[in-house]
Amino acid sequence: MTKHLIGHAPSRRSVLKGMGAGLVAASAFPGYTWAQSSAPIKLGFQLHRTGIGAAYGRWYERTAQAALKVLNDGGGINGRPVEIVFEDDATDPKRGAEVVEKLASQAGCDAIFGPLFSHVVIGSAPRAGELKIPYLVCSEGYHVASGMLNRWTLQPGITDVRAQVSSMAPWVMQNLGKKVTMVYPDYAFGYDHRDFFTEAVKAQGGEVIAQIAIPPTETSFTRYLPQIPAETEVLYHVMVGPAVLTFVKELGDFYGSGARPQIFGFIDSLEAVDTATPGLEFLEGTHFWEGHNRVKQADASEAETFYRAAVGVDDNGASVSDAKDVSTYAHMFSCWETLFIIKQGMEAAGYQGPADRQKFVEAIEAMTAFEAGNDHPQGAKMFNGKTHQVFGHQFISKVEGGKLIRVHQTAIEDGMYPDAVDYTTQSF
């Protein structure tokens, strides 16, 4: 990323020469450079290295690096080696669009992948569409399948939140209770949970009896807890950021040692947080959604073991070099799997260079299923080329002795919903 600093070339040339160079660079160069297909394939990674997504970004980078090593050791893509250019977007949508620009136009990447936070994805996708560069997001937002984005934006590596939420509702209804109170952050991420879980609960004959939205500036929750109706059977919580520790502690103080409802939460609250942290004892016996089991389960597959070792994660879900550095295990597999989908798509499209980007997108759209294995350690998945969204298994785990132990695995079909968009009818 350091090759072309500002103004060097033009300042040394006359304006006319510069214009000529500009024209050549704009039109002719890509064709020549990319015709030679032994050059490395360059992928851009839009990384939340700083900002509120930094804990995720750290692990997304490690996972992508580990996957890259496996990919290159296995011969790369179409026999060509692969490089990843990581660029920090500060978890900011404005910077995100600039990073897409930088990776596409300056670094000359063939495709871009990796962003997680919805606002960054939504802020960047329009620019990726304009630049006509494939943009593969690892975001779990419903924004891809809702039809909000464009033909160049795909989410083949992780199930979206609408599918996650609706696939778990039946188990929650049958095993935990039918009267639900939801506590969620008062912004878009929370609304996806509110809307889709409420709908799914209704479909199962249950009822959401209270919805408690917590404003993003709140640091203490004691004044919200009395709003939880006494007849609540299940308390559904999803919180993001450091507030979750306070939330859990205050919830513990609120219920004391008396009776409490069943508690079901989203692991997003506790990604990169050790479940055995002092203050989180109240979580013992509660349930969580996990996109991928953080703690290595007794029946772990070979692929799971392979993936865990390659990324450098121990059996508890922490870094092998630092047991306090807990991973974002429920999400980061998406970087790994997306990279191998890029490989599969590029090989199916006979990808040579940026001129084949459209073929590459079409090749991914044509995919329907992914087998579980080293390329897909989280498990088998089904891909909907029309909505650009993948669907996979979801897991429900219970905290036992401070560890998350899986108690249920959903079927892939459990999360499916009617298509809201057909991107394949849109022009490139």
Partner 1 sequence: MKVWILHVAVLLALLVLLLVLPAYHATNLARIMVLAVFAIGYNLAFGYTGLLSLGHALFFAAGVYGAALPVTYLGFAQLPALIAGLVAGAVMAGLTGLLALRTAGVSFMIVTLMFAQAGYLSLLYFGEVTGGDEGLVLPGAAGLIPGLSADAARTTIAYGLFALALIASLLLVRGRFGRTMVAMRENEERSRMLGYNPFAVKLAALVLSGLFAGASGAAYALLFGYAGASFATIQYSILPMLWVLMGGAGTVLGPLIGTAAMFYLVDIAGSYTTATLLFVGVALVLLILFAPRGILGTIRERWLPWLP
In angstroms, what is the minimal distance from the CB of 361 to partner 1? 18
> CB within 8 A of 8, min separation 6: which ones?
none
Residues that contact partner 1, how many (by CB under 8 A): 49
Residue (29 or 279) nearer to partner 1, CB = 29
**Residues 18 to 47: which contact partner 1 by CB under 8 A?**
18-19, 21-22, 25-26
Q: Residues 41-80 vs partner 1: string with x where CB under 8 A? A: --------xx------------------------------
Among residues 34, 53, 77, 92, the one that binds partner 1 under rule CB under 8 A:
92
Residue (1 or 355) nearer to partner 1, CB = 1
Residue (194 or 381) nearer to partner 1, CB = 194
User: What SS3 state is found at 245?
Assistant: helix
Q: Residues 250-289 vs partner 1: string with x where CB under 8 A? A: ----------------------------------------
Among residues 116, 133, 149, 399, the one that binds partner 1 under rule CB under 8 A:
149
By CB under 8 A, is residue 122 in contact with partner 1? yes
In angstroms, what is the minimal distance from the CB of 201 to partner 1? 21
In angstroms, what is the minimal distance from the CB of 263 to partner 1? 26
In angstroms, what is the minimal distance from the CB of 87 to partner 1? 7
**Residues 184 to 243: which contact partner 1 by CB under 8 A?**
186-189, 191, 215-217
In angstroms, what is the minimal distance from the CB of 96 to partner 1? 9
Q: How far apart are CA 90 and CA 102, in angstroms?
A: 14
By CB under 8 A, is residue 126 in contact with partner 1? yes
Relative to beta strand 262-266, strand 207-214 is unpaired
Applying CB under 8 A, the span of 90-98, 224-232, 244-252, 345-353 interacting with partner 1 comes to 90-98
Among residues 63, 118, 164, 327, the one that binds partner 1 under rule CB under 8 A:
118
Nearest Cα to Cα of residue 281 among 398, 183, 402, 396: 402
By CB under 8 A, is residue 377 in contact with partner 1? no
Q: What is the DSSP letter of 215?
A: P
Q: How far apart are CA 350 and CA 403, in angstroms?
A: 45
User: What SS3 state is found at 326?
Assistant: strand
C-alpha pair distances (Å), 394 with each of 165, 285, 291, 328: 9, 19, 5, 16
Is there a contact between 45 and 87 (Cβ–Cβ < 8 Å)? yes
In angstroms, what is the minimal distance from the CB of 213 to partner 1? 10
Q: Look up residue 203 and give its two tokens.
A: 């479909």
User: What SS3 state is found at 202?
Assistant: helix
Secondary structure element (H or E) that encloses residue 32, with its range: helix 29-35
Among residues 43, 71, 97, 173, the one that binds partner 1 under rule CB under 8 A:
97
Q: Look up residue 373 and give its two tokens.
A: 């294995």
Q: Print the SS3 string covering 344-365.
A: HHHHHHCCCCHHHHHHHHHHHH
In angstroms, what is the minimal distance from the CB of 402 to partner 1? 32
Residue (194 or 294) nearer to partner 1, CB = 194
User: What SS3 state is found at 417?
Assistant: coil
Query: What are the two backbone dihedrals, phi and then psi, of residue 216, each rounded to the nearest 5 degrees?
Result: -65, -20
> CB within 8 A of 349, min separation 6: which ones?
356, 359, 360, 362, 363
In angstroms, what is the minimal distance from the CB of 118 to partner 1? 5
Residue (121 or 176) nearer to partner 1, CB = 121
Residue (205 or 215) nearer to partner 1, CB = 215
Other beta carbons within 10 angstroms of residue 226's beta carbon come to 9
Query: What are the two backbone dihedrals, phi and then psi, of residue 117, each rounded to the nearest 5 degrees?
Result: -70, 135
In angstroms, what is the minimal distance from the CB of 130 to partner 1? 5
Residue (50 or 344) nearer to partner 1, CB = 50
> CB within 8 A of 109, min separation 6: which ones?
42, 43, 44, 85, 103, 133
Among residues 105, 222, 227, 426, the one that binds partner 1 under rule CB under 8 A:
105
b/e for 300-314, b at 16 or more Cβ within 10 A?
Answer: eeebbeebbebbbbb
Residues lying near partner 1 in the complex (CB under 8 A) are found at 1-2, 4-7, 10, 15, 18-19, 21-22, 25-26, 49-50, 87-88, 90, 92-94, 97-98, 101-102, 105-106, 118-119, 122-123, 125-127, 129-130, 141, 143, 148-149, 186-189, 191, 215-217
